[in-house]
Amino acid sequence: MARKINVKHPVMEYFAIAFGAALMAIGVGIFLVDAKVVPGGVSGLAMSFHYLSGNKIPVGILMWILNIPLFIWGLKELGKSFGIRTFVGFSFNAFFIDFFRGDIPGFGYIRLQDAPAIKDLLQNDFLFLILIGSVLLGVGLGIIFKFKGTTAGSDIIASIMHKRFGIKPGQSIMFTDFFVITFAGFIIGFMNLSPDKPALSLTLYAFFLLFLSSKLIDVIIDGFDYARAAFIISEKCDEITEIITSEMGRGVTAIKTRSVYTNTEREMVMAVVPIRELSKLTDIVKDVDPDAFVIIHNVHEVLGKGFRRRI
Separation CA 107–CA 119 (nearest Å): 20
How far are the Cα atoms of 94, 176, 200, 231, 307 from residue 58, in angstroms, in the given order? 10, 22, 25, 56, 47
Q: Is residue 1 part of a domain?
A: no
Q: Is residue 306 part of a domain?
A: no
Q: Is residue 2 part of a domain?
A: no
Q: Is residue 156 part of a domain?
A: yes
pLDDT tens for residues 51-86? 999 899 999 999 999 999 988 888 887 777 567 888
Q: Are residues 121 and 262 located together in one domain of the fold?
A: no
Average pLDDT of the residues in 99-125: 94
pLDDT tens for residues 202-255? 999 999 988 888 778 777 766 666 688 999 998 888 999 999 988 888 889 888
Q: What is the pLDDT of residue 239?
A: 92
Q: Are residues 197 and 250 located together in one domain of the fold?
A: no
Q: Are residues 187 and 290 located together in one domain of the fold?
A: no
Q: Are residues 67 and 204 located together in one domain of the fold?
A: yes
Picking from 187, 222, 257, the residue at the C-terminal end of a domain is 222
pLDDT tens for residues 127-163? 999 999 999 998 888 888 878 788 888 877 877 787 7
> Do 27 and 134 meet the contact criterion of CB atoms below 8 Å apart?
yes
Q: Please list, in sequence order, all residues whose beta carbon lies within 8 angstroms of the beta carbon of residue 40, skipping any fewer than 6 positions away.
A: 154, 173, 176, 177, 178, 180, 181, 206, 210
Q: Are residues 200 and 234 located together in one domain of the fold?
A: no
Q: Are residues 295 and 164 located together in one domain of the fold?
A: no
Q: Please list, in sequence order, all residues whose beta carbon lies within 8 angstroms of the beta carbon of residue 133, skipping any fewer than 6 positions away.
A: 27, 28, 30, 31, 32, 35, 37, 209
309 φ, ψ to 5°? -95, 145
- For the cut 60, the answer to whether the pLDDT of residue 308 exceeds it is no
- For the cut 70, the answer to whether the pLDDT of residue 8 exceeds it is no
Average pLDDT of the residues in 109-132: 94
Q: Are residues 117 and 158 located together in one domain of the fold?
A: yes
| Domain around 45 | 10-222
293 φ, ψ to 5°? -100, 120
What integer best gives the mean pLDDT of the chain?
85
Q: What is the pLDDT of residue 225?
A: 60
Q: Are residues 292 and 156 located together in one domain of the fold?
A: no
- For the cut 70, the answer to whether the pLDDT of residue 306 exceeds it is no
With bands split at pLDDT 50, 70 and 90, how would you rate the model's confidence at 1? very low
Percentage of the chain exceeding pLDDT 90: 41
254: three-class secondary structure by DSSP: strand
- Which CATH number is 232's domain given? 3.30.70.120
269 φ, ψ to 5°? -110, 145
pLDDT tens for residues 159-197? 778 778 877 665 777 788 889 999 999 998 888 888 788
- For the cut 90, the answer to whether the pLDDT of residue 302 exceeds it is no
Q: Are residues 193 and 233 located together in one domain of the fold?
A: no
Average pLDDT of the residues in 16-28: 94
Q: Is residue 309 part of a domain?
A: no
Q: Is residue 107 part of a domain?
A: yes
Secondary structure in 3-state letters for 269-292? EEEEEEHHHHHHHHHHHHHHCCCC
Q: What is the pLDDT of residue 136?
A: 94
Q: Is residue 304 part of a domain?
A: no
Q: Are residues 237 and 201 located together in one domain of the fold?
A: no
Q: Is residue 5 part of a domain?
A: no
With bands split at pLDDT 50, 70 and 90, how would you rate the model's confidence at 93? very high
pTM (predicted TM-score): 0.74
The residue with greater pLDDT, 296 or 306, is: 296
- For the cut 50, the answer to whether the pLDDT of residue 5 exceeds it is no
Number of domains in the chain: 2
With bands split at pLDDT 50, 70 and 90, how would you rate the model's confidence at 9? low
Q: Please list, in sequence order, all residues whose beta carbon lies within 8 angstroms of the beta carbon of residue 123, skipping any fewer than 6 positions away.
A: none
Q: What is the pLDDT of residue 221?
A: 65
Q: What is the pLDDT of residue 204?
A: 93
Q: Are residues 46 and 141 located together in one domain of the fold?
A: yes
Q: Are residues 192 and 260 located together in one domain of the fold?
A: no
Picking from 194, 222, 250, the residue at the C-terminal end of a domain is 222
Picking from 222, 251, 278, the residue at the C-terminal end of a domain is 222
